[in-house]
């Protein structure tokens, strides 16, 4: 009994159904995958592909393109999950394979892009403002400026954290990828058996 027979029971790719449901859960919980907090309410950043919030001194910082980027990621993953789900429910049909091919790799692409941006973001912010923002852990940022001819220095403790949601998203993305690969293999064997 091959692995594909364990995954595709009868006419349903069970692993694909599970992966699609988990992708939808990740999208609609919309919890942050990375957070940054600085000082007592001075700076708060929560970041995921579906929602990006930046607050400085309790006031939100609005970047006009951000809602469009987060909506695009949300729509891409919802459509991907729905195609993976539909394709997995009709795993023995060629249209099922086609739908699965479209949907199975998008979660991994979104997680890869997010992770890449996450690793670059603190460095880019740090270079722009002359501070070293940590990816994880705590650090004290020192800001210096001139006010009225005097040098003023402020130290702000910051704490950055990669949340468990990012790790969960990675696992789900890999499950979706495996389900798509196994669906392809299982479908090819099924077609050979029918000939």
Alpha carbons 42 and 126: distance in angstroms, whole number: 17
Q: Tens digits of per-residue pLDDT, 28-62?
A: 987 999 998 988 878 888 999 999 888 888 888 88
CATH for 106? 1.20.140
Show Cβ contacts of residue 97 under 8 Å, excluding neighbours closer than 6 positions. Answer: 87, 91, 183, 184, 187
Tally the domains of the chain.
1
Q: For residue 148, give both structure tokens.
A: 């009225």
Helix (H) / strand (E) element for 173: namely: helix 164-194
pTM: 0.81
The whole domain housing 177 covers 3-194
Q: Tens digits of per-residue pLDDT, 131-143?
A: 778 888 888 877 7
DSSP 48: -
Q: Are 99 and 91 in contact (CB under 8 A)?
A: no
């Amino acid at each position: 009994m091959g692995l594909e027979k364990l995954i595709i029971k009868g006419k349903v790719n069970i692993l694909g159904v599970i992966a699609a449901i988990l992708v939808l859960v990740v999208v609609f919980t919309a919890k942050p995958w990375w957070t940054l907090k600085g000082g007592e309410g001075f700076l708060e950043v929560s970041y995921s592909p579906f929602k990006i919030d930046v607050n400085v001194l309790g006031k939100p910082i609005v970047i006009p393109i951000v809602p469009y980027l987060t909506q695009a990621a949300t729509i891409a993953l919802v459509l991907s999950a729905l195609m993976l789900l539909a394709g997995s429910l009709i795993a023995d049909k060629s249209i099922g394979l086609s739908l699965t091919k479209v949907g199975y790799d998008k979660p991994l692409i979104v997680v890869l892009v997010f992770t890449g941006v996450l690793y670059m973001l603190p460095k880019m912010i740090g270079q722009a403002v002359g501070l070293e923002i940590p990816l994880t852990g705590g650090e004290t940022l020192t800001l210096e400026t001139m006010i009225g001819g005097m040098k003023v220095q402020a130290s702000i403790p910051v704490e950055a954290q990669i949340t468990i949601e990012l790790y969960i998203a990675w696992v789900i993305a890999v499950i979706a990828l495996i389900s798509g690969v196994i669906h392809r293999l299982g479908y090819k064997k099924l077609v050979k058996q029918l000939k």
